[in-house]
């Protein structure tokens, strides 16, 4: 009678332990790779969207029935609330053409010494893109056809201070920052959007006040 050869229980447990360790290491490596990919994609997408919006502000074409547009920009409200969402908008005026003091001020919708003119960004009107006509004067309209609108690592992104809106002025492309109430921030610092990772170095996307130039740096 032949002796049957088989693995002992101890050998099986050793093999299973090794397999579990290898699978755990592989899963961690995959998770880290996935996070890094999403992390880099978020930064690149948002930086690209900001540059696209600034260029759009300088080249924005009005339809024949449209009124003057103060500018186009990004509403970062969703990022501040932790949803990772951001919205593009255009700020409509009640003036048919450029030339009124409200359109020619140092800042969008700003006239020195005129408190009535120096309002906020107006009320937000959601929905699809619409024309800036007399019925929608001094309001924000959602601007379709641009960018990504959403970040992958939504819970790991934060925005500096109480900044909510980034506006690029029509024609000039100058960048202005507004707070959560839609009021222009006087002498603002630059906009900083901080991207965090579970492991490794975080990064900050900085948008320069007035110039709108972007820069990515490692966060200390």
Q: List, for residues 135-156, the tens digit of each pLDDT value.
A: 656 677 767 666 668 888 887 8
Domain assignments of the chain as residue spans, ordered by start: 37-218
Lowest mean pLDDT: which of 23-37, 57-71, 137-151? Answer: 137-151
Q: Check residue 168 and give its pLDDT.
A: 95
Q: List Cβ<8 Å contacts ≥24 apart for 106-109.
A: 107/176, 107/184, 108/70, 108/71, 108/167, 108/169, 108/176, 109/70, 109/138
């Amino acid at each position: 009678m032949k002796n049957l050869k088989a693995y002992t229980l101890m050998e099986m447990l050793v093999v299973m332990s090794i397999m579990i360790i290898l699978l755990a290491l592989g899963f961690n490596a995959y998770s880290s790779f996935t996070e890094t990919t999403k992390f880099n994609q978020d930064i690149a997408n948002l930086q690209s969207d900001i540059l696209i919006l600034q260029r759009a502000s300088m080249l924005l074409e009005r339809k024949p029935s449209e009124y003057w547009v103060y500018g186009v920009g990004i509403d970062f409200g969703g990022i501040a609330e932790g949803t990772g969402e951001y919205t593009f908008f255009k700020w409509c005026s009640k003036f048919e053409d450029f030339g009124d003091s409200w359109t020619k001020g140092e800042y969008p919708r700003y006239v020195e010494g005129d408190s009535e003119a120096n309002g906020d960004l107006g009320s937000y009107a959601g929905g699809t893109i619409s024309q800036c006509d007399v019925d929608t004067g001094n309001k924000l309209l959602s601007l379709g056809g641009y960018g990504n609108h959403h970040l992958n690592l939504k819970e790991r992104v934060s925005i500096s201070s109480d900044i909510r809106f980034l506006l690029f002025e029509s024609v000039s492309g100058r960048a202005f920052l507004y707070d959560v109430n839609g009021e222009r921030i006087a002498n603002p610092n630059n906009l900083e959007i901080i991207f965090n990772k579970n492991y490794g170095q975080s990064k900050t996307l900085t948008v320069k006040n007035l110039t709108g130039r972007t820069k990515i740096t490692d966060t200390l």
